[in-house]
């Protein structure tokens, strides 16, 4: 149980909230859409602790919140269309999914191992003040337990997460109350509506001077960018779960007492394991490519189902599922 501080939206409260983020803690804060549950997007354990607090049974990618549009170029490959949308709708309830840039420094858990990142510059004064004081990228899904209604006040946040997060910044209510609109881009740059939300489709189409494709149309058509519209990452090698030891030719992903070529957490810590999950899967794939003879698969040690273990096992099960 963590003691959840309620911080006032004033200079002292903002400074305290920023220092909690700097220390790897979680702070819920108002945005114009709903309250977000924020943590340093570069800190894998901090990002893992967001999933832990929400009891999220799966790792889906989190939106990275930035103080201003200029920072987006540090993390994503920018384009003319991204510039147009940023000028028209940032700060505001629009998220853009863009290709990750080399040297981005974000945790793999934020992108769920995908080669893309969702970025947004929120307009709410509390979000703006916190992002400026922290002066770094903040990963934030909605500040509610998984499966519950998104919070639009500090009281809603406390009703769901009191004792599970370090602080809530009491910055007043959220004006929009629905999630941000999410736009992605195909390999030919075609803009795709990934999720409807706070900015209307028509407004975005007017700004771009082009129609938005729907996700299903984009997936069916040739414009799908490998990796960009992909809903989850899976390693190239077959994955075998619940293994106590590797079979001949297999690479091993360890956990706890079961050591591997790489180990999620030797001390059996689920937060550390979550933070390492995607990086280790990518690294095992890379290791496999470099080996002769090529390994036949990845054996994965059992990971307990409690807490973050549910989300870790969910992702491992998807990685192990037969490929179409």
Q: In terms of CB distance, is 179 or 272 closer to Mg ion? A: 179
Residue 263 found at the interface with Mg ion (CB under 5 A): no
Q: Are 260 and 246 in contact (CB under 8 A)?
A: yes
180 scored as a contact of Mg ion (CB under 5 A): no
Directed axis angle between helix 125-134 and helix 11-22, to 10°?
50
CA distance 313 to 306: 10
User: Which residues pair with residue 217 across a beta bridge?
Assistant: none
Instruction: Note whether 193 binds ligand AMP by CB under 6 A.
Output: no
In the numeric block, which tokens belong to residue 227?
């990796």
Strands 213-214 and 239-240, bridge-based pairing? unpaired
User: Contact at 8 Å (CB) between 20 and 73?
Assistant: no
The mark string for 100-139 relative to Mg ion (x by CB under 5 A, - otherwise) is: ----------------------------------------
- Segment near Mg ion (CB under 5 A); pick from 142-150, 226-234, 235-243, 257-265: 142-150
142 binds Mg ion (CB under 5 A): yes
Numbers of helices and strands, H then E, in the chain: 11, 15
- Find the shortest distance in angstroms from Cβ 252 to Mg ion: 35
Q: Does 311 bind ligand AMP (CB under 6 A)?
A: no
In the bound state with Mg ion, the residue whose beta carbon lies nearer, of 31 and 142, is 142
Among 31, 116, 128, 152, binds ligand AMP (CB under 6 A): 116
Of the candidates 132, 120, 130, the one whose C-alpha atom is nearest the C-alpha of residue 194 is: 120
Interface contacts to ligand AMP, rule CB under 6 A: 60-63, 97, 111, 114, 116-118, 141-142, 179, 182, 194-195
Interface contacts to Mg ion, rule CB under 5 A: 142
């Amino acid at each position: 149980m963590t003691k959840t501080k309620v911080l006032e939206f004033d200079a002292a409260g903002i400074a305290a909230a920023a220092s909690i983020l700097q220390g790897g803690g979680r702070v819920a804060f108002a945005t114009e859409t709903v309250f977000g549950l924020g943590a340093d997007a570069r800190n894998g354990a901090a990002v893992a602790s967001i999933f832990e607090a929400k009891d999220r049974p799966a790792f889906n990618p989190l939106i990275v919140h930035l103080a201003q549009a200029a920072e987006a170029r540090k993390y994503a490959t920018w384009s003319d269309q991204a510039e147009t949308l940023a000028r028209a709708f940032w700060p505001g309830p629009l998220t853009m999914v863009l290709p990750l840039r080399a040297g981005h420094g974000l945790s793999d858990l934020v992108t769920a191992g995908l080669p893309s990142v969702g970025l947004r510059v929120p307009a709410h004064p509390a979000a703006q003040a916190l992002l400026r004081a922290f002066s770094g990228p903040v990963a934030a899904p909605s500040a509610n337990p998984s499966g519950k209604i998104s919070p639009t006040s500090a009281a809603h946040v406390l009703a769901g997460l009191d004792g599970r997060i370090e602080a809530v910044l009491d910055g007043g209510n959220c004006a929009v109350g629905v999630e941000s609109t999410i736009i992605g881009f195909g390999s030919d740059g075609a803009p795709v509506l990934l999720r409807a939300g706070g900015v209307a489709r028509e407004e975005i189409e007017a700004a771009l001077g082009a129609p938005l494709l729907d996700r299903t149309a984009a997936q069916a058509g040739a414009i799908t960018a490998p990796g960009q519209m992909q809903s989850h990452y899976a390693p190239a090698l077959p994955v075998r779960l619940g293994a106590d030891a590797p079979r001949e030719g297999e690479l091993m992903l360890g956990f706890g007492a079961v050591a591997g070529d790489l180990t999620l957490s030797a001390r059996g810590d689920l937060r550390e394991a979550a933070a390492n999950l995607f990086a280790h899967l990518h690294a095992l794939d890379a290791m496999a490519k470099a080996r002769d003879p090529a390994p036949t698969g990845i054996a994965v040690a059992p990971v307990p189902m409690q807490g973050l273990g549910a989300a870790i096992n969910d992702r491992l099960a998807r990685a192990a599922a037969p490929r179409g």
